[in-house]
Structure 1
Amino acid sequence: MPTAAPSRATRRTLPEAGASAAARFLQNQRQSGRTAAGCFKTGQISAAVQASFEHSVPRSDGDSAMNSFPPNSQMALPVAHMPQVYAEPRTPAFGIGDVISILMRHRRTVVVTALIFATIAAVYAFGRERNYVAMSRILINPRGLQVVDREITPTSETNDGGIAMVESQMRVMTSNDVLAKVVAREHLGEDREFVGGGGALSAITGFLGSLAGGGRSIQPDIKALYNLQEAVRAQRPKRSYIVELNVKTKDGAKSARLANAIADVYINSEADAQSGLAGRASEMLTGRLDELRRQLSAAEEAVETYKFENNIVTSTGSLINEQELSQANQLLTQASNQTATALSKLEQVRRIKNTGDMSQPLPEAITSQTITRLRDRYGAAVQRREALSAQLLPSHPRMQAAKAEIDSARRQIVGELNRIAAATEADYERARAHEDKVRARIETLKSGTHRTNDAMVRLRELQRDADAKRAVYEAFLVRARELSEQRQVDTTAARIVSRAIVPMRPDGPGSILIVLLGLFAGAGVGTMLAFGREALSTRISSPEQISQISNLPLLASIPIYPTHSSDEGLPEFVADDPLSPTALAIGDLLENLRPYGPGGDVKTVLVTSPGLNHGKTTVAFNLALAAARRGEKVLLVDGDATRRTLSALRVDDPEIGFFDVVNGRARLQDALVLDPGGLVMILPAGRTSGFDWSSSLTADKIKNAVMRRLPDVSLIVIDGPIGGRSDALAPFSESADASCLVIRSGEVDEATLKRSAENLRARPGKRNGSVFVVDAAE
């Protein structure tokens, strides 16, 4: 975890005079000009300030060591020595850079696994036997070929039923019966591919098979049938009734020939199956016809016998009794009408006779020519009397003669009416007698009909039985004739729509593709193994692990990106791109090491690491470079006597250096070297031959030889030895104000990290922390 920032009370303990002088210096320099970064170059500083800086170092050994800092070194001075807030370290999230870092650490596992898979794939690809697949297409129509109204097998009317029918036919195509016929037709029992050749592998396989089978040998045709079943595959594309029949063999021509043979055999087998099924059904129906015919004859004979015994006679489909009764009812209706007509006429005649009024109109039923003539005569006589009565008295002879004529006409009319009444009454009596006779006949017929109806109940039962047997017999007879004719007609619903042709290229992916797939698969497996090893590894790979194991606060997380600088040596992240994540993380580290800024309590910083290849020298160099770019005077010391990376990469052939100064064999000002960038002074490692490590390298000697001789240098960065050795690290950690332990992701285990952290924590009162370094992608 990062070290907490100082409190405001601590910040107020800074000397007010120093702060005021720094403020006045800032105000004066703002009037003369300022750089974009807020710092001032040495050439812009007044002569008084320059002289004060140079005369601040004691001159006990001649020229001051500060004279080694060139006046035009383009170094910058700080703007103001104000306290700074403790910055949070930038911890990069897990991303592509972490993935690449893990793969780089386990690259051997990834490469070896990929090569093993590629080798296995190459052996398989170039040593396998290539097969050729030929395909024939067969259309199966679920509705079938409708030759007659009723087929031997009903057709499917639904989509699901049609698909089920096609799926069933696919099983028929690859059934043992169909394939056995193909084996016999194509003589596959003699084909070495289907029954096995004479090679060593076939011999071994046959021997093992004989052992597994108890010494029993398999017939060639049976073995060919098994192998053909494995070589044949039938499938149906979606939303289609077409079946694709695939055959795979080592010879393209053979594959095409077998695919067409299976299709032909299937079509012929279906036709034979339909014909055989129709023939068997026809034979079964014909065998039943004789029995049905005898049953029908017996039923019809029982019907006729019963009719004769019960005097049941039919004509035109109905009983004679019923026909006579219907006719008698019609006659009764006619007789009743005639009787009613005669009675009506008789009553009219009687009513006219009783009234005696000859002047009223007569009904049409009793009107005749005689009555009409008599009535006309009667009317004329009455008119004459009426005419004479106006002139003559009733006793007049002419009146008497008119009256006599009227009486004579009335008598004649009455006499005619009596005759008509007698005739009408006779007609009425005859009509009534005829009606009675018809009614008597109907009653006789009704009694006979009741007896016949009782007998008809049983007769209808016999008739229904005879009708049912007749219907069954006729249906069997018709169906037997249809099936007999269907045997000669091919009604199969399958046909070949595409015959197989010889394939141009073998089946399956190419050899190169298989090798590439094996390589990619191996790379994938290797990647998973790399991540698995990373997960199971005890090496440190995250800032959280560093904080938990070392109990050191995390000062910064620095992503190291590949550099494209043309200069050889250490990468200058701060100079190349000040706004890069690496440069910003270096800035965080500088601020976290010195929360009070350049004028605080931290002047000397020790940079160490648990082992090799952690980026210790790179962090130390960029830390010094970051402080120098802020305008500070910075000294970078190479205290690593074992590797001397800083001296080798930034100084050309250093003859003397740090260890010579500490041992008193050289002066400090003679050993200082200006970095090629012109911002940082470097104190190389120097010579270690004849160096007394136990007595010469102590914290006091380091302070007296370097730190105390450079009081105005704001920051001294020591690229120290590896922190795993406490005896080599102790003088440096005791002499430094702060220490940072640089740990690269995946480069150190828990035990080494814990031992190095304990060596730093053994010096209380120091500002110690850790720096997490992770390799990041561009």
Structure 2
Amino acid sequence: MTMVERMPSRLFVDAEPGKPDATPEPWFLDPREIGRALRARWALVLAPAVLLLVAAVAWLSLVPPLYAAVTQILIDPRGIQVVKDGVTPADQASDASLLLVDSQIRVLVSDDVLRQVVSRFKLDQDPDFVRPSSLLDRLKGSLSSLIGVAGGPSDDGLTALRTLRERTAARRLERSFVVELAVTTDARQKSADLARAIAETYLATVSQAQAQVTRKAGDAVAGRLGELQDDLRAADDKAQKFRAANNLVGTRGQLVSEQALTQLNQQLGAARARAGELRGRLAQIEAVANGRADLNSVTEIVQSTTIAQLRSQLAQIEAARADTVSQLGPRHPTLRTGELQVQTLRNDINAEIRRIAAATRNDYRSALANEASLAATLESRKKEALSVDRSFVRLRELERQVEASRAVYEAFLVRARELQEQQRLDTSTSRIISPASLPERRLGPPIPVIFAAAAAAGLGLGVALALLAVPAAGRIGSRRRLQQIAGVPVIAALPAQARVRTQGRGTGALRADTAYDLAVARLGSRLQRDFGAARPTLVLVTSADDRAGKSELARSLAASAALDGQRVLLVDADPEAMISRDLRATAKRGVAEALRTQSGLGDALVDGPTGVKILPFDDAALSLGTAAYTGALLATAASFNTVFVDIGLIGTDIAAERLAQDQRFPALLLTASAKSSAVSRLQRALDATGRDRRVQLVITDAEAEA
């Protein structure tokens, strides 16, 4: 015997006892399942990648390359403040400045600018901008003529303009006044030339437009100068006529009546001051004349030369009289003469004082009369001024109109001169800060990136198609999928590549170096562990559509159990009789005959390799009824440790379904082929068994798991 014959079967168990092989995660989340699906459908995975790579090569070959040249223009909304007042305001808010720059972008790509570029480069004759009419275009034109929707003649210039507009893009860079202009054509040099031409044409157009606006404003202002001059002259004439009609004559901005009234006020004040002064002087002089005041207290008396002479003489005489009294005595006759002289001088002094008082009184009366006269004249002039004031109000209004007309005329005159000079100045600060250069590469991603993206997209599509093809094919595919579809534990997955038998040797001997035989040994040990408590162990082996796999499994399980030293009975109840065809021996009695005679099935058994007893298939025996067949089989099974019954296919064999529903068989192995078994047939087989808990799933041709 080989090594397997002496090796205990417990060494072949591949699962922990008592734990089901349940997998909660979906099969498509298992990398091993994905790998199996992709390996099985590698052509479907690679086909989209190859197709997309071919499509990428065709696209790169047929579609001409496009090149985009970029230039940057600084659009400064402030401009240069050459004159004090420009045509447009120089300082604006930030939001308004951004709106102005956005408006200039529209001007940059406007038809006015692009049409000049089209004319300059003769783009209406460039096939890149004006494509020749194709057969499809001619068919469209013919169809439009037939239905009565005839279009006008094509304009190459308009077509070139539209094409250039589509290939021109402008945008403002974020947080700046810089505008980026891009032009796309099929040639590097052409793209750069057109980008530079559009930028230069835009700057020239803006400068011309600004000069035109300034010229228009200057012409409008100059046209108004004549009207304003006539208005000023008319207003001035009207004011002068009103002044002459109302005798409103004045100098230095003041009327004569106002000047006279002012002078009278001044004269009246002086007269009143003079009268008051004379009144005070007169009172002082009268006080001196009445002896109530000293002579030295009045200025006029002190300053009078006559009184000064008389006082001098009086002083001399009094001095002489004092000498006489001291020398001759107070009774001398000459003293009388001195006294008369003193009295005469005092009388002369008093007479002079009265004369001064009379003169002062006359001056005071004259001052009062002058004051009264001036007051009367002032009152009359005031009455005249009231009537003049009413006329003067109207005159002031006319003069204000004259001043307003003069101010407007002078402002327009100055503004007209400024605009005339401003027409010759370019106050724009917009300029090209980054001229367009030759593009380095074509538009779009690089060619290696295109091929890499095509390959990646193709592989991704291929992987998706391969994974979608797994459920679409309706096959089991793998152990995980079978377990999820059936909802029943899969107790074994036998590798398909190891199922090799020597031709012409019947069931053959198990080899220790095959993965299939090792898996079968593990499965047999598990069956003994789960169902070997009661002897004999009865195991039904069936399938929905895997006939060869189930028969091979039943035969291999029987051989494995026999190698483990058990008495094994292998029953062939499959109408195809795949096990029975491999036998060379003949039984002493047929199964049907044994059932009729009720003599037992001992004479119907045939010896197989490694000590396995085989009950061959007998169609007549099953025709006698599954109850009799099962009863005889169970009676014969009492002499064995393990019985494996290979029955027909569930869903196509009535006898197989009745045997599978018999509860006296504790174990029911339902085999499936990962490559050929259909999911729908497996579902029908499970439904036919009522999804009995005795059912155990086995895959007979699973791929080796990593």
User: Does TM, scored on the shorter chain, surpass 0.5?
Assistant: yes
CA distance in 2, matches of 1:450, 1:413: 55
Q: Indicate the residue corresponding to 1:230 in structure 2.
A: 166
Distance apart, 1:349 and its partner CA = 5.3
The counterpart of 1:136, out of the listed 42, 46, 71, is 71
Question: 1:183-194 counterparts in 2 under 5 A?
Answer: 183-194=118-129
* 1:692 paired residue among 607, 618, 626: 618
Following the alignment from structure 1 to structure 2, what is the Cα–Cα distance between the partners of residues 777 and 314?
Answer: 126
Query: CA–CA distance in 2 between the matches of 1:730 and 1:694?
Result: 16
Partner of 2:687: 758
Task: Verify the 8 A CA contact 1:174 1:232 in the aligned structure 2.
Answer: yes
Distance 1:534 1:218, change over 3 A: same
Shift in Å, 1:454: 1.0
Counterparts of 1:744 and 1:314 in 2: how far apart (Å)?
131
Does the Cα contact within 8 Å between 2:570 and 2:645 map onto a contact in 1? Answer: yes
Match of 2:199 in 1: 263
Q: Is the 8 A contact 2:546 2:672 kept in 1?
A: no
Does 2:607 match 1:666? yes
Tell me: CA distance 1:524–1:452, structure 2 relative to 1, closer, same or farther (3 Å).
Answer: farther
In the alignment, structure 1 segments of 5+ residues that lack a partner are: 1-67, 79-83, 382-396, 576-582, 648-652, 673-685
Say whether residues 1:100 and 2:34 are aligned partners: yes
- Counterpart Cα distance in 1 of 2:566 and 2:347: 181
Residue 471 (structure 2) pairs with residue 471 (structure 1):
no
Q: Which amino acid aligns with 2:67?
A: Y
Say whether residues 1:325 and 2:291 are aligned partners: no
Task: Return the alpha-carbon distance in structure 1 between the equivalents of residues 288 and 696 of structure 2.
Answer: 157
- Alignment partner of 2:115 out of 180, 200, 220: 180
1:152 is matched with 87
Q: Does 2:420 correspond to 1:484? A: yes
Letter in 1 for 2:85: R
1:566-624: CA deviation from partner (whole Å, max 9, x where unpaired)? 9752598999xxxxxxx9xx9xx979x95xx9748995565765455999999999x99
2:224 counterpart of 1:277: no
Counterparts of 1:406 and 1:429, CA distance in 2: 35
Contact 2:493 2:698 in 1 (8 A): no
Aligned equivalent of 2:444, options 497, 504, 508: 508
1:257 offset after TM fit, Å?
Answer: 1.3
* Shift of residue 424, structure 1, vs aligned partner: 4.3
Distance 1:776-1:70 versus aligned 2 partners, 3 A rule: closer
Q: What is the SS of the residue equivalent to 2:179?
A: strand
CA distance in 2, matches of 1:655, 1:191: 91
Secondary structure of 1:274's aligned partner: helix
> What's the CA shift string for 1:635-687, capped at 9, x where partnerless?
99998999x9xx9xxxxx9999xx99996221686249xxxxxxxxxxxxx9x
Q: Judging changes above 3 Å, is the alpha-carbon distance between structure 1 residues 108 and 255 closer, same or farther for their aligned structure 2 residues?
A: same
Q: Please state if 1:337 is matched with 2:273.
A: yes
Counterpart check, 1:737 vs 2:666: yes
CA distance in 1, matches of 2:81, 2:478: 79
Q: CA contact under 8 A between 1:144 and 1:493: conserved in structure 2? A: yes
Does the CA contact (< 8 Å) of 1:661 and 1:671 recur in 2? no
- Is 1:437 the counterpart of 2:370? The answer is no
How far residue 352 of structure 1 moved from its aligned partner, in angstroms, is 6.9
Cα distance in structure 2, aligned partners of 1:613 and 1:485: 108
The residue aligned with 2:588 is none
Using the TM superposition, give the Cα deviation of residue 216 of structure 1 relative to its aligned residue in structure 2, in angstroms.
4.2
Counterpart AA for 1:665: V
- In the TM superposition, what are the counterparts of 1:62-73 in structure 2 within 5 Å? 73=8
Residues 307, 242 of structure 1: alpha-carbon distance in 2 compared, 3 angstrom cutoff: same
Counterpart selection for 2:384 from 429, 443, 448:
448
Correspondence for 1:91 among 11, 24, 40: 24
8 Å contact from structure 2 (residues 225, 409) kept in 1: yes
Q: Which amino acid aligns with 1:709?
A: F
Aligned partners of 1:306 and 1:459 also within 8 Å: yes
- How far is the alpha carbon of 1:409 from its aligned partner? 11
Q: How does 1:198-217 map to 2 (within 5 A)?
A: 202=134, 204-205=136-137, 208=140, 212=144, 214=150, 216-217=152-153
Please state how far the C-alpha of 1:361 moved relative to its aligned partner: 10
What does residue range 375-454 of structure 1 map to in structure 2 within 5 Å? Answer: 418=354, 421-454=357-390
- Structure 1 window deviating more from structure 2 (102-111 vs 423-432): it is 102-111
1:710 to 622, 641, 658: 641
| SS in structure 2 at match of 1:134 | strand
Question: Secondary structure at the residue paired with 1:193?
Answer: coil
Q: State whether residues 167 and 183 of structure 2, in contact with CA within 8 Å, keep that contact through their aligned partners in structure 1.
A: yes
Matched residue of 2:106: which SS?
helix
2:515 corresponds in structure 1 to 569
Could you tell me how far apart the structure 1 residues matched to 2:279 and 2:492 are?
A: 142
Q: What code does the residue aligned with 1:182 have?
A: V
| Structure-2 separation of matches of 1:536 and 1:373 | 162
CA shift for structure 1 position 474? 1.8
CA distance in 1 between partners of 2:532 and 2:310 (Å): 171
Aligned with 1:145: secondary structure?
coil
Are 1:742 and 1:770, in contact at CA under 8 Å, matched by a contact in 2? yes
CA-to-aligned-CA distance 1:249-307 (integer Å, 9 cap, x gap): 11111111111122222222222222222222222322222222222211111111111
Going from structure 1 to structure 2, the CA distance change for 1:560 and 1:101 (only over 3 Å counts) comes to farther
Seen in structure 2, the aligned counterparts of structure 1 residues 617 and 308 have a Cα distance that, compared at 3 Å, is farther
Residue range with higher mean Cα deviation, 424-433 or 741-750: 741-750
For 2:30, what is the secondary structure of its paired residue? helix
Amino acid at match of 1:498: S
Q: CA–CA distance in 1 between the matches of 2:547 and 2:415? A: 98
Contact 1:636 1:718 in 2 (8 A): no
SS at match of 1:157: coil
Amino acid at match of 2:34: I
> 3-state DSSP class of the match of 2:515?
coil
Which AA in structure 2 matches 1:91?
Answer: P
Residues 304-361 of structure 1 deviation map (CA, whole Å, 9 limit, x = unaligned): 111111111232223232233233323333333333333344445556777x555899
* TM score, norm. by length of structure 2: 0.69
Question: What is residue 580 of structure 1 aligned with on the other side?
Answer: none
For residue 692 of structure 1, what is the amino acid of its counterpart? D
With over 3 angstroms needed to count, the CA separation of the structure-2 counterparts of 1:481 and 1:364, relative to structure 1, is same
SS in 1 for 2:166: helix
Would the alpha carbon gap of residues 531 and 226 (structure 1) be closer, same or farther in structure 2, given more than 3 Å must change?
A: same
Contact 2:572 2:617 (C-alpha < 8 Å) held by counterparts? no
Aligned sequence identity (%) = 29
Q: Distance in 1 between matches of 2:294 and 2:387?
A: 60
What CA distance in whole angstroms lies between the structure 2 residues aligned with 1:533 and 1:343? Answer: 140
Structure 2 Cα separation of the partners of residues 345 and 151 of structure 1: 75
Shift in CA distance, 695/353, structure 1 to aligned 2, threshold 3 Å: farther
User: Cα gap change, 1:308/1:115 in structure 2, threshold over 3 Å: closer, same or farther?
Assistant: same
Provide, for residues 43-77 of structure 1, a one-character-per-residue CA deviation record: whole Å limited to 9, x for no partner: xxxxxxxxxxxxxxxxxxxxxxxxx9977738489
The answer to whether the Cα contact below 8 Å between 2:573 and 2:645 also exists between their aligned partners in 1 is no
CA, structure 1 residues 706+467, in 2 after alignment: closer, same or farther (shift >3 Å)? farther
